[in-house]
Structure 1
Amino acid sequence: MLQIIPETPAIHADAIETLFDATFGPGHFAKTAERLREYSRSLPEISRVAVLDGEVIGVCRVWPLRVGPARHRALFYGPVAVAPSHRGGRLGLTVTGEAIEAGTAAGWPAAILIGAPAYFGEIGFTVTPKHQLSFPGPQDPARVMVRDLASDASVLSGLVTAA
């Protein structure tokens, strides 16, 4: 039976890292998004894992961010990964949607995600206007998306940094 549950680092961390390596390869550490994660800690109470028969087959990790000179609080969703044997369905959207619900319930105001607009648009993410958000490294602005959680995500503007 498939379960979507909060991450428990002591139980899931190794399996999640193995899933990230299988999904993204060793080059994923070079991405700009990793600059936001390397000096931060994920929020396991908001992150979600998909577990099938005791095996982690999907994950959406979530990280705290600050945005712009006003230092607005936001959550950074990703990486989102699904085991190769379970791709092609909607598991990535399901696990991300569950993490969105957890972030909303926890009172976070907004979500940021870097990904495919056609895919993540299905769960309410929209592409930000070009140059509204900047990152600590190069980033394709066509893949930068936001979503309201408890307030208006359109107020987010400026440099995105780790919390």
Structure 2
Amino acid sequence: MLRIFTETPSDTHEVEYLYDLCFAPGRTALSSYRLRDGVEPVGPLCRIARDEYDVLAGAIRFWPIRVGPAGHRALLLGPVAVHPTHQGEGLGALLITEGVERARELGWERILLVGDAPYYNRFGFEHDIAEAVDFPPPTNPARILARELVPGAMEGVGGLVRRWED
């Protein structure tokens, strides 16, 4: 039985270890990590899952970002990771679905990510509505996906994604 909690500072080391386990060692060299540098994630949206032995089974984080010269507010989803012993159980889907709904409840209008469309399309993320959005290089433009939490929230949103504080 899995239990979902809001990530706390005491979970940070375990979450980072899980990300290291699930992703390539050079994950922090990705351009999306430059958008996270020195920026606090959106705490209420950062969730972890623990199994019946209290072992970390999964984690998801969301980060505030700005898009284009108008500075449109958005969330950057990721990373989301599931421990190999729990993959295939639907935990990643649960964390994403819950995170998207909580983001809507908190008043966010749009979420962006860089990822695989075949996986994220089932959660409502689309490439077409993100075509005017650019991430810092090197980012494959075909992997930029967005989800509107409010109808029309991506209309007129375009340009370079930047850190929240910039």
Same fold (TM over 0.5): yes
Instruction: Give the counterpart letter for 1:38 in structure 2.
Output: D
TM-score, structure 2 normalization:
0.91
Deviates more, 1:53-62 or 1:149-158: 149-158
1:61 aligns with 2:61: yes
Aligned to 2:159: 158
Q: Matched residue of 1:104: which SS?
A: helix
Number of aligned positions between the proteins: 162
Gaps of 5+ in 1: none
Instruction: Give the counterpart letter for 2:102 in structure 1.
Output: A
Aligned to 1:15: 14
Q: How does 1:89-104 map to 2 (within 5 A)?
A: 89-104=89-104
Distance 1:145 1:129 in 2: 8
Q: How does 1:1-80 map to 2 (within 5 A)?
A: 1-10=1-10, 12-53=11-52, 54-80=54-80
Deviations 1:33-66 (A, max 9, x none): 1111113111121122111121111111000011
Deviates more, 1:49-58 or 1:105-114: 49-58
TM-score, structure 1 normalization:
0.92
CA distance 1:134–1:57, shift in 2 (3 Å): same
Gaps of 5+ in 2: none
Q: Matched residue of 1:20: which SS?
A: helix
How high is the sequence identity, in percent, across the aligned residues?
38
Q: CA RMSD in A?
A: 1.5
